[in-house]
Amino acid sequence: MNKEALVKSLQEIAGKEHVVFAEEDLVCYAFNARSRRMSTPPVAAVSPATAREVSQILALANEHGVPVMVQGRGSCLADNLTIERPGSLLLSMNRFLKLEIDPDTLTAVVGPGVITHDIKKAAERHGLFYPPDPASFTYCTIGGNVATDAGGLQCVKYGTTKQYVAGLEIVLPDGRIIRTGGKCIKDVAGYNLTQLFVGSEGTLGVVTEIILKLIPLPEGKKAMLVLFDNLENAARAISRIMISGVTPSVMEYMDEVIIDAVEDVAHLGFPSHAQAMLLIEVDGALSTLASQVEIVSDVCNRLGAIEIRVANSSKETENVWMARRICMQALTRKAKGRFSGDPAAPIDKLADCVLKVKDLGLKHSIITACYGHAGDGNMHPCFLFNNDAEKERARQASGEFYEFVVSIGGTVSAEHGIGHEKPHYMHLQFGDAQMDIMKGIKRLIDPMGIMNPGCLFDEARHE
Ligand SMILES: Cc1cc2nc3c(=O)[nH]c(=O)nc-3n(C[C@H](O)[C@H](O)[C@H](O)COP(=O)(O)OP(=O)(O)OC[C@H]3O[C@@H](n4cnc5c(N)ncnc54)[C@H](O)[C@@H]3O)c2cc1C
């Protein structure tokens, strides 16, 4: 199908003002947070407003073999949304903005284009809580969260997006519209198609509506910052806290390179000999907060914590979270580039992981750093480089770390997904039989291979 005919058909479906096709305008759509700028812009971008419009667009694309990328806000970190094929169509979900809270069933019905932060705020007005909180929650969409099964700081206690998805409306690549799940608390009828689509990274269809579960808002919370002069002890404290009877709502980890980078930028007065830092939050009934803090402090003290700061004011709490929020940006002052990622290991293996990152740094003569949502075993190991030779060694070290994580029972992706960045790591985690099942599912639902080709699997078409 040539560009002119495609644009005309899209304009008939979605309206002229919702189709972008000038090259200079399309530049604004050709980005994601990992690649910043994609080399191949889409041939057109369309912003439909209803499932019916999406259905007509997909049926058209399917008939003519036009590759389709679904875009939320492009904040993905595994190149989940990368236009590799010339002639691709970008489908923006920014007009799907339905947001209804149903306090009687503890659910919300939302459009995929709603910003995650807005759902949290709307739920709070009813005394309810939508817990998933990717660090990007003030600008990413719930559709992107569902498609990547986004995690976040509070996953350690509350789980990832999938735990809160009760039902979906999905447009399949051939244009059929299906509804999965619903507002029932219990529902075991048939295969769980809702969860099949959660985390499918726009490779199986377009999510056009989401039913989310909500829970009562915790009464209060308390933030703490714990410093260690020994990396291993900090990592061990994480698994000990998890079995102490207190489940923190947040437990983040940073090593000394990150602490130093944050201190350079924010001047929070961290001791220069600190090797690791835990940022912890406990929540629940107000009457339980002090005892939760005491139990966590006790575990940390027994493992040789050199300083424990408990936030007693909103300013102190803000400092704790500022340290976490700026660490990615602060690290850019340490090196020109880095290989990073989102592997996870069982929490009792966390100490082995942080030591492995250090070892790989020494082996390949590069600087390394490590931070992450450590309470759920999810790390962001960083292999830094300042020139081409270091870049090659950092790439090698990063690959070796993924192999190590899988060898100890971990996963190559805890939250960002596989995207176009990590298909070559899939074989580390999955054998031939599992890969065959996944490719078979893709072939069944998307036989023309139009949905986000190249994402998850290396091949574009699925003969
Ligand atoms: C600073 C920063 C911090 C981050 N922190 C976290 C974190 O803590 N935890 C975490 O998990 N992620 C994190 N991320 C990654 C990112 O924000 C999440 O992956 C988020 O879910 C992406 O949402 P989005 O709206 O930007 O989606 P996009 O980036 O636009 O899309 C992501 C994927 O979802 C697909 N998609 C989007 N909408 C739909 C739809 N309606 N139907 C079908 N497929 C769809 C896309 O095709 C793509 O494959 C972070 C990113 C940044 C930049």
Tens of pLDDT, residue by residue over 298-315, are: 999 999 999 999 998 888
Instruction: Tell me the CA–centroid distance for residue 33 and ligand 1, in Å.
Output: 9
Ligand 1: which of 50, 89, 116, 136 to mutate, judged by most atoms within 8 Å of the beta carbon?
136
Where do runs of H (alpha helix) occur along 243-326? 256-266, 286-302, 314-325
Residue 322 has a pLDDT of 82
Backbone dihedral region for residue 18 (phi beyond 0: left; psi -120 to 50: alpha; all else: beta): alpha
- Give the closest residue (by CA) to ligand 1 atom 44: 202
What is the mean predicted confidence (pLDDT) over 210-216?
Answer: 98
Using the atom order of ligand 1, give the atom closest to the CA of residue 80: 49
Instruction: Tell me the CA–centroid distance for residue 203 and ligand 1, in Å.
Output: 14
**If pLDDT is split at 50, 70 and 90, which confidence band does 37 have?**
low
Ligand 1: which of 34, 36, 47, 70 to mutate, judged by most atoms within 8 Å of the beta carbon?
70
| pLDDT higher than threshold 50 for residue 67 | yes
Ligand 1: which of 68, 83, 148 to mutate, judged by most atoms within 8 Å of the beta carbon?
148
Instruction: Tell me the CA–centroid distance for residue 310 and ligand 1, in Å.
Output: 32
User: Pick the residue with more confidence: 273 or 109?
Assistant: 109
Using the atom order of ligand 1, give the atom closest to the CA of residue 452: 47
**If pLDDT is split at 50, 70 and 90, which confidence band does 279 have?**
very high
| pLDDT higher than threshold 50 for residue 463 | no
% of the chain at pLDDT higher than 70: 98
Instruction: Tell me the CA–centroid distance for residue 383 and ligand 1, in Å.
Output: 23
Using the atom order of ligand 1, give the atom closest to the CA of residue 328: 1
Torsion sign, CA atoms 290, 321, 272, 369: positive
User: Pick the residue with more confidence: 85 or 240?
Assistant: 240
Instruction: Tell me the CA–centroid distance for residue 92 and ligand 1, in Å.
Output: 13
Residue 36 has a pLDDT of 65
| pLDDT higher than threshold 90 for residue 316 | no
3-state percent breakdown (helix, strand, coil) of the chain, nearest 5? 40, 20, 40
What is the C-alpha separation between 139 and 134, in angstroms, rounded? 10
Residue 203 has a pLDDT of 97
Name the nearest CA neighbour of 372 among 327, 321, 329, 322: 327
Using the atom order of ligand 1, give the atom closest to the CA of residue 373: 8
Using the atom order of ligand 1, give the atom closest to the CA of residue 153: 8
Instruction: Tell me the CA–centroid distance for residue 379 and ligand 1, in Å.
Output: 18
Residue 460 has a pLDDT of 45
pTM: 0.94
| pLDDT higher than threshold 90 for residue 28 | no
Tens-digit pLDDT profile for residues 115-155: 999 999 999 999 999 999 998 999 999 999 999 999 988 99
For all residues of the chain together, what is the average pLDDT? Answer: 93
Instruction: Tell me the CA–centroid distance for residue 145 and ligand 1, in Å.
Output: 5
What is the mean predicted confidence (pLDDT) over 260-275?
Answer: 87
| pLDDT higher than threshold 50 for residue 461 | no
- Give the closest residue (by CA) to ligand 1 atom 1: 136
Ligand 1 lining (C-beta closer than 6 Å): 32-33, 69-77, 80-81, 93, 112, 134-136, 140-141, 143-145, 147-148, 150-152, 201-202, 206-207, 328, 415-416, 452
**If pLDDT is split at 50, 70 and 90, which confidence band does 332 have?**
confident
The first and second tokens of residue 357, run together, are 């990152």
What is the mean predicted confidence (pLDDT) over 17-25?
Answer: 94
Strands (E), 133-266: 165-171, 177-181, 206-213, 215-216, 220-228, 250-255
Residue 459 has a pLDDT of 62
What is the C-alpha separation between 305 and 274, in angstroms, rounded? 10
* Lowest-confidence pick of 88-102, 153-167, 242-256, 312-326: 312-326
| pLDDT higher than threshold 70 for residue 325 | yes
| Structural contact between residues 48 and 18, judged by C-beta atoms closer than 8 angstroms | yes
Q: CA 33 → CA 37, 42, 247, 372, 443, distances in Å?
A: 8, 17, 32, 18, 29
| pLDDT higher than threshold 70 for residue 251 | yes
% of the chain at pLDDT higher than 90: 80
- Give the closest residue (by CA) to ligand 1 atom 18: 76
Residue 462 has a pLDDT of 40
